Structure 1
């Protein structure tokens, strides 16, 4: 584990000139590793993964929302500050079940135009975050726009300068690095972004061991490998492909179904049927019944 460029990024910011020598130190350390492998004639035998667990965002107290600006009485709760701020009752465990999270979330919602702070109950957070089903997770959360933080008051913000992380991992500045090098990996290949939870299955394949159950999708990183180890078996397609007569773009039988009165006009485009004001892209695969 290398603490750079994380430490320098927190102190000076990810766009500071101090980041350059921090990255150069990391480069020298990796160079020492490669020189050592080459000296033992292992540089073409060992698979190496270089990865990071998060990105970094420039911090500023001007890009922060303060709950005290919207809520007069803040004596009953605290805010764990940051880009993924959480709301917690002040009196625990007494107020754990009785605290009015719903009322607070409602009061903090839509208070200003283009508000960077969006309050959520944990059960309503995007399911992709997997951050709800645990009694230790606070029920109130503040989802922040990219580059923004939240706190109860200005003096609570930890990073007014330098850099921070912890925002939504879909934000570009939160995304991490991945480099795979060695005999198992394809050379000079750039791949789309993927989640770090997929690395466990990949490392198991490289080591020749069976992965334990996990949230990754085994085989999803096969495109990184010259010779994938695990080939997932997909459910068999039981239905048969049917050729579509492209000369007949509308069905002859409407199956007693009609669009609502305001969307009666049908428009044909790219052989996809849709109502003018409400349409969906259909799946690209053949629908199938699975037993």
Structure 2
């Protein structure tokens, strides 16, 4: 089936298409007056940092999730409805690769000193050019304070061709597609104007963080790569994967399929990962060439500088595929809601980080010479205490164990023969209530691709957009409703749509947006750009051929 035959949800009337900017404006010029007043020049200094949470928010987060990260499995990163195309091969892919569990050191974990300020760089560049003219030296390098100078790490016009097949993949977690319409992200808007962008990008089911990030880099549905939720039980291992537990996310035996950084390394490339989900694990006994563990306190500009630092490595050490994960927009959406000032502030912060990266590329003469892809994993919508489905109105909670990936729940009957009775009761409740759907794992709609893995619970239930499950015995209506923002709903719903923006030598600039497509198609695209042989995946030949014809640069 070609991609054009896949039914997609049409945009709502109030969802205006993302409009490209007319001439380029500065960040301050394009922002509304209220944000201009809030921003001072210091916000644009290289050393400025933007921790995702302040101390009060961190304390609240720990109370919400639990101090050990596992007491309350309330993750808010999942999705719904599906995509019909190739049949997955989950039976052969899930758990087929055994990863090493031995401990590894953490390279890159120590915070590096900041790069020299731009004005000082200009002075150094001028002085160096004069020196080179006098001495006839061919190349030179601008380095960070405290690091050894390496002439082979210099970026010059003559060496730029070596970057042509380099990919920088950046994820802005929870960046709903319609956020682009708020005119708070001029750097992203300009990047889209200079390259290509999709109308929207559709997440896989369930549209939560870990399954979708791993689908983007493997080209596989969650039922195939095995990360079926942020929290799930594996009956074969008799163990539970918890996304915030290093013993889980750092263990390669949980992660099936082959992520792009493993594909690259197996074909003599190097790779680098800045906190991308899955990159802490030795998958097929392989980790990214450069990586470090997730650290939510790392300032956004420091993350951008880490990408630039990796690009400055000598050719024989330089990574060809670099990934970076930024959670700020998602965090703000959960805690304050999609229409909040906190979300708008986070949009400004992440856009400034993108702008800082773009400026760094320009200073290194790499603008238009590397391929930059900015994506998100899912959207976000608002929920409230007025939109709750109480499960104990329909079933006896003593009969089941509930594993929650808010809003999706997996139910495990405590007695094997109780499945039919529980499913019948919930199905009846679904018809009466009209606000949720429930199915047996084996009977999940085919377009969800969410049946062929024993890691999926025997009974799966999901509410309508903006609704949540709760139990009356533990629900306290006097407490503030949290989280306000949620995702994990129908993946064709406009609120759940994500973004795709790309620019670089591999892409043919286009003012017209690419039609909505499924995010797992990106794995084959990255392999195509890097001239890699892809591992088996669920991407579609029809979509790739259409992309090559319309949006891949001539001669690529």
Per-residue displacement from partner, 1:21-49 (whole Å, max 9, x unpaired)?
10101011001111011111110111110
The structure richer in helix per residue is 2
Q: 2:425 aligns with which of 101, 107, 119?
A: 107
| Structure of higher RCO (CA pairs closer than 8 Å, 6+ residues apart) | 2
CA distance in 1, matches of 2:344, 2:454: 43
Pair member with larger Rg:
1
Instruction: Give the TM-score normalised by structure 2.
Output: 0.38
Q: 1:84 aligns with which of 408, 412, 422?
A: 408
Q: 2:515 aligns with which of 188, 192, 196?
A: 192
Q: Tell me if 1:151 matches 2:470.
A: yes
Q: 2:398 aligns with which of 75, 79, 86?
A: 75
For residues 179-218 of structure 1, what are the structure 2 equivalents within 5 Å? 179-187=501-509, 188-218=511-541
Listed as ranges, the gaps of 5+ residues in structure 1 are: 230-291
CA contact 1:52–1:177 (8 Å) conserved in 2: yes
For residues 265-280 of structure 1, what are the structure 2 equivalents within 5 Å? none
Q: Tell me if 1:47 matches 2:371.
A: yes
CA distance in 2, matches of 1:219, 1:181: 22
CA distance in 1, matches of 2:341, 2:403: 30
- Give the secondary structure class of the aligned counterpart of 1:5: helix
Partner residue of 1:9? 333
Flag the 1:206–1:102 CA change in 2: closer, same or farther, 3 A. Answer: same
- Give the secondary structure class of the aligned counterpart of 2:421: helix
Flag the 1:58–1:140 CA change in 2: closer, same or farther, 3 A. Answer: same
Partner residue of 2:109? none
Q: Which region of structure 1 is more displaced relative to structure 2, 98-107 or 220-229?
A: 220-229
Q: Tell me if 1:123 matches 2:446.
A: no
For residues 131-280 of structure 1, what are the structure 2 equivalents within 5 Å? 131-153=450-472, 155=474, 160-187=482-509, 188-218=511-541, 220-221=543-544, 222=547, 223-227=550-554
- CA RMSD, 1 decimal: 2.3
CA distance in 2, matches of 1:161, 1:213: 37
Q: Which region of structure 1 is more displaced relative to structure 2, 171-180 or 210-219?
A: 210-219
CA distance in 2, matches of 1:60, 1:154: 19
CA distance in 2, matches of 1:53, 1:24: 19
Q: How many residues in Structure 1 have an aligned counterpart in Structure 2?
A: 222
Flag the 1:199–1:159 CA change in 2: closer, same or farther, 3 A. Answer: farther
Listed as ranges, the gaps of 5+ residues in structure 2 are: 1-324
Give the CA deviation at 1:20: 0.9
Instruction: Give the TM-score normalised by structure 1.
Output: 0.70
CA contact 1:79–1:151 (8 Å) conserved in 2: no
